[in-house]
Amino acid sequence: MASDDIALNAAPYFIVYKDGRIDRLIGNDIDPPGLDPITGVESKDVDISPDVTVRVYRPKSAAEKISEKLPLLVYFHGGGFCIETAFSPFYHQHISAWVAEANIIAVSVNYRRAPEHQLPIPFEDAWTSMKWIASHSEGKGQDEWLNEIADLNQVYLAGDSAGGNMAHRMALRTVTEGLEGVKIKGLQLIHPHFWGGKLIGEENDWDPNDLFVVENLWFVVSKDIKTLDDPIVNPEHDPDLGRLPAERVGVYVAEKDNLKERGRHYAECLKKSGWGGTVEVVETEGEGHVFHLFNPTCDIAGELVKQLAAFINSGCRG
C-alpha cells in the first residue's frame, strides 16, 4: 500500500514520498520536435539506447548544405535530477534560440530521473549519450546530422541547475575514463547545482526551510551520498578537479538565485586547483534561478542567450 509520508516537500516543483513515489507538479508538458517557425531551427528525437533519447538540433544554415562543420553543444537539462525533460517547452525553446543565435548543432539529453532512478543512473545515461556522440567521430555514427555537420573537435558541454552539475561530471569523466573522438573545448554552467557541508556567503541568511530542501534533496536522489562534501555535491573535494579538459569555462549566476554562491565558489575552486584554463563568472542582475526558462521572451533572457552563443563563437571562430 502506498504511503503518504513525505520524504521531501519541494512544492511547487515536486513532492517525494518515503516509499519512493514522486508527484511532479511541473515539467510534465512536452513540445514535439520539428521545424521551429521562429528560428528556422530543425529538431528530431533519436533513441540511442533503451533508456536514453536525445533531441538533436540543427540551424537553418545546415539545410543550405554549408561547407564547414559546426561546433557541437551537448546540453543536460535541470530540475533537481527529478523533474523536467529534454522535451519540455522550456528547454526546447531555449535550445532552439541558442542554436539559431550561435549557428551550431546541439544534442539535448533526456536521462532517467530520480528518485525512481537514483544517482548515478542519470549520470550513466548522460555518459551513454557522450559515448554515442563520440561514435560519430569518423562520420559513421547513427545520426546523419552529426556525421555531416558536427565538429567533434569543438564540443561544448552545458546545463542549467542539476544539468550544470551533470555537464561538469561528464567533462571530468572524459578525462578519468577517456573518450576518443571528442574534444571538450568549453564548459557552460548556468545557475549550477552544487552544495557543501559548510555554508558560504549569503547562504547563512537563507530561510531554514529552503536550506532543508536543498540539503536533503541530495540524500533523496542518491542513497550513495553520505555527506554534502561528496565530490558529486561539492567539486571542491574532487581530487580530479584540476584535470578538467575544457580550455574555457563560463559560470552564469543570477543575483536573486540562492545557488549563486556555489557558482562563484566553483569558479574559485577551479582557479586554485591547478587547472590551466580560463574561467569567467557572468552575473545577471535582478533575476532568480533559471529565469530565462520561465520567461524566455523577456529582453534579459535574450541577452543571456546572446552571451551563451558568444562564448562558443569566440572560442571557435574568434
Per-residue pLDDT tens over the stretch 253-301: 999 999 999 999 999 999 999 999 999 999 999 999 999 999 999 999 9
Does 129 qualify as catalytic in the annotation?
no
What per-residue confidence (pLDDT) applies to 317? 46
- Tell whether the model's pLDDT for residue 69 goes beyond 50: yes
Any domain includes 132: yes
Does 117 qualify as catalytic in the annotation?
no
What value does the CA radius of gyration of the chain take, rounded to a whole number of Å? 19
168, 191, 289, 292: the catalytic one is 289
Q: Tens digit of pLDDT for each residue in 177-225?
A: 999 999 999 999 999 999 999 999 999 999 999 999 999 999 999 999 9
Q: Tens digit of pLDDT for each residue in 137-154?
A: 999 999 999 999 999 999
Query: Residue for cell digits 576518443?
Result: 180
Q: Number of structural domains, the chain?
A: 1
**Element housing 253 (H / E):** strand 248-254
CA distance 86 to 27: 10
Any domain includes 205: no
Cis peptide before 208 (omega within 30 of 0): no
96, 129, 161, 222: the catalytic one is 161
Does 92 qualify as catalytic in the annotation?
no
Q: Tens digit of pLDDT for each residue in 72-102?
A: 999 999 999 999 999 999 999 999 999 999 9
Q: Tens digit of pLDDT for each residue in 2-56?
A: 678 999 999 999 999 999 999 999 999 999 999 999 999 999 999 999 999 999 9
Phi and psi dihedrals of 190, rounded to 5?
Answer: -105, 110
- List strand residue ranges (DSSP E) for 66-167, in order: 70-76, 105-110, 150-160
CA distance 181 to 9: 43
Any domain includes 153: yes
Distances in whole angstroms, Cα of residue 40 to Cα of each of 133, 142, 199, 307: 24, 24, 45, 20
Identify the three-state secondary structure at position 63: helix
How do strand 248-254 and strand 184-190 relate by DSSP bridges? parallel
- Tell whether the model's pLDDT for residue 66 goes beyond 60: yes
Any domain includes 107: yes
Above pLDDT 90, what percent of the chain?
Answer: 95
238, 257, 265, 292: the catalytic one is 257
Q: Domain containing 41: what range?
A: 31-196+232-315
In terms of Cβ atoms closer than 10 Å to its own Cβ (0-12, 13-18, 19+), residue 98 is buried
All three cell numbers of 27, joined, read 515539467
Residue 296: give its domain's CATH number. Answer: 3.40.50.1820
Distances in whole angstroms, Cα of residue 19 to Cα of each of 9, 66, 116: 14, 53, 10
What per-residue confidence (pLDDT) applies to 3? 72
All three cell numbers of 98, joined, read 541558442
pLDDT class of 315 with cuts at 50, 70, 90: confident
- Tell whether the model's pLDDT for residue 63 goes beyond 80: no
- List strand residue ranges (DSSP E) for 77-228, in order: 105-110, 150-160, 184-190
All three cell numbers of 50, joined, read 533503451
Any domain includes 66: yes
* β-strand partners of 10: 14
CA distance 135 to 147: 9
Any domain includes 227: no
Any domain includes 4: no
Any domain includes 152: yes
Above pLDDT 70, what percent of the chain?
Answer: 97
